[in-house]
Amino acid sequence: MMELQTIRSVVTSHPSGDARFASLDDTIAHYKAEPTALIQVLHAAQQLFGYLSPDVLRYIAGKLKLPLAQVYGVVTFYHLFTLVPRGKYQIMVCRGTACHVRGAQLILERLSQQLGIKEGETTKDNLFSLHSARCIGACAMAPAIAIGDDVYGKLTPDKVPKFCQKDLKKYT
């Protein structure tokens, strides 16, 4: 606890006073502001802010004493980090091998049609964005999609309209 306190006192908080930065500071302190914790800190930041804005990246770079270019390099290397805002809920359509051979492409197309957005886009109400994933580890339930921690398996193209009308209503 002592350690945590001292680290907190040397770093200044974000000028905006946005409470989410204080949360981010907690994560940074948990990792003792070690530059090697960059990826874990980015995860926390994306969780808090929904995406990684230049402002957030600059803030993290400052806190971890890393060049901004290096932070940017890491962010762009990994698929899960995003520099642009996404929907509140991200619909991840698995396009891994098992899902591919069981027709994932068609699921993606029908979802895109139903939601009226293309892959990578966000619905007008900012609720959903549509993405494809590599493999969500639900291969036995292929074709599968994930929304946050929820996994929906054994989809077929003709189940998609009902899925959109029923299951997606849970997410508000």
Partner 1 sequence: MIRAHCLICAGAGCISSGAHALKEALTAELKQRGLDNEIRIVETGCMGPCDLGPVMLVHPEGTFYQKVTALDVPKLVEEHFIKGRPYQPLLPKEAPTGAVVNTQRDFTFFAKQQKIVLENCGLIDPENIHEYIARDGYAALGKVLTSMKPEEVIAEIKASGLRGRGGAGFPTGVKWELTAKNPVKPHYVICNADEGDPGAFMNRAVLEGDPHKIIEGMAIGGYAMGANNGYIYIRAEYPLAVKRLQIAIQQAYELGLLGKNLFETGFDFDLELRIGAGAFVCGEETALMRSIEGRRGQPQPRPPFPAQRGLWGKPTNINNVETWATVPIIIRNGASWYGQFGTARTKGTKVFALAGKIRNTGLAEVPFGTTLRELIFDIGGGIPNGKKFKAVQTGGPSGGVIPAQYLDTPIEYETLQALGSIMGSGGMVVVDEDTCMVDFARFFLEFCCDESCGKCPPCRVGTRQLLNILERICSGEAELEDLDRLEELALMVKDASLCGLGQTAPNPVLTTLKYFRDEYLAHIVEKRCPARVCRDLLQFTIIEEKCVGCSVCARVCPVETIFKVGGQKKYYIVQDKCIHCGACLEACKFQAINKTSEGEGFIPPPRPAVLELPPGRKPTAVVTS
* Site of interaction with partner 1 (CB under 8 A): 34-40, 42-43, 70, 73-74, 77-81, 94, 96-102, 106, 109-110, 113, 133-142, 144, 146, 148-154, 157-158
Q: What is the CA radius of gyration of the chain?
A: 19
Closest distance between partner 1 and the C-beta of residue 113, in Å?
7
In the chain, alpha helices (H): 2-10, 19-30, 38-49, 54-64, 68-77, 97-101, 104-115, 160-165
Q: Which of 33, 98, 127, 164 binds ligand FES (CB under 6 A)?
A: 98
Q: Choose one: 39-47, 59-67, 118-126, 136-144; the region binding ligand FES (CB under 6 A).
A: 136-144
Q: Which of 41, 71, 75, 94 binds ligand FES (CB under 6 A)?
A: 94
Q: Which is nearer to ligand FES, 7 or 98 (CB)?
A: 98
Cβ count within 10 A of residue 105: 14
Cβ count within 10 A of residue 47: 12
Closest distance between ligand FES and the C-beta of residue 153, in Å?
8
How far apart, in Å, are the Cα atoms of 35 and each of 20, 54, 61, 65, 100? 20, 18, 9, 7, 38
- Our finding on whether 96 is near ligand FES (CB under 6 A) is yes
Residue 17 binding result from ligand FES, partner 1, none, given CB thresholds of 5 to 8 Å by partner type: none
- Our finding on whether 97 is near ligand FES (CB under 6 A) is yes
How far apart, in Å, are the Cα atoms of 7 and each of 30, 37, 42, 98? 10, 15, 19, 47
Nearest to 145 by CA among 92, 96, 97: 92
- Our finding on whether 93 is near ligand FES (CB under 6 A) is no
Given a contact cutoff of 8 angstroms between Cβ atoms, the answer to whether 57 and 26 are in contact is no
Q: Which is nearer to partner 1, 42 or 115 (CB)?
A: 42
Residues that bind ligand FES (CB under 6 A): 94, 96-99, 135-139, 142, 144
